[in-house]
Every structure is written in structure tokens, then in C-alpha cells.
Amino acid sequence: MFRQAENDFGPLIQATSGNVVHDDVQPTAGHALMIATLLICWWSLVETALDFVTGNGNRDFASAIAANLIVVIAGLAVVMNVRFAREIFAFLCGVSILALGSRLPLAFGDSLWMPLISLVDCGSKLVFLAFACAPPHENGTRAASL
């Protein structure tokens, strides 16, 4: 079982470790997409901890946990290549960017931390969407650079 997981994540580990597998191989957008997805999942867990510390009420905290749990489950489905997971996760990221990005300039009046947290959230989701929407090359692979 461990050997199978090693084989599944082998290209990701080789692409992120700096080791060159072949002379002409470039990291694909699939690897960048997986890294961006894991970054979004990790940040959602950090946001859940921050909501716990700065929570205003039980109802707000429960809804924040539910929303972050949906994002983490959808993100892990993208990493595991579940059918339609990338499209669902891209939709969730796009809706989140539209919801958070529209109120981001107004949030700087209240405090500095909340807009920065939202800025990291929107930035990581924007990176995911950039790689998810990258056009494929002639050979069917997606490039890592935009």
C-alpha cells in the first residue's frame, strides 16, 4: 500500500525536490495545481484555527468550520483525481474570490490582520485558478508557466 502511494506521488516529489528526472522535462501545471490545492487546504485549516481564536459566536464558528471542511474535502478530492473534483473546487475558489475580494478594500478600516488573512486566501485560490485554466500544449500537457 505504501509503495502504491509512493508511485502516485513520485512525480510530485521529484518535481518539488529539485531533482531532474529527464533533461528536457519541465514541471507541469498538474504539479503546480496539486501544490496550490494543498496550499489552499492547509490555509483553510489555519483559518479554522484563527476563527476558533477570534470567534464571535457559536453559530459563526460552526458555519466557518463547515465551509472550511467543504473546501478541504473538495481539495483533497482534486489531489486524489476524483472525477469532476477539479471543476467543483475551481467553482468554490471562484465564488470565494468574488465574495472575499469585493469586501477586501473595506476591511482595512477595521483591522490589519483580517484583510491580510483574506488576501492570502484569495491569492492562493487565484493561483489555483490560473493553473486550472491554463491552456494545454500540443502534446496534451499543461505548462507550469503562464
Backbone angles phi, psi at 20, to 5 degrees: -90, 120
- pLDDT higher than threshold 90 for residue 70: yes
On whether the pTM is more than 0.75, the answer is no
Taking the CA atoms of the chain, what radius of gyration do you get in angstroms? 17
Report the distance separating Cα 30 and Cα 9, nearest Å: 12
How many residues make up the chain in this entry?
146
Q: pLDDT value at position 48?
A: 84
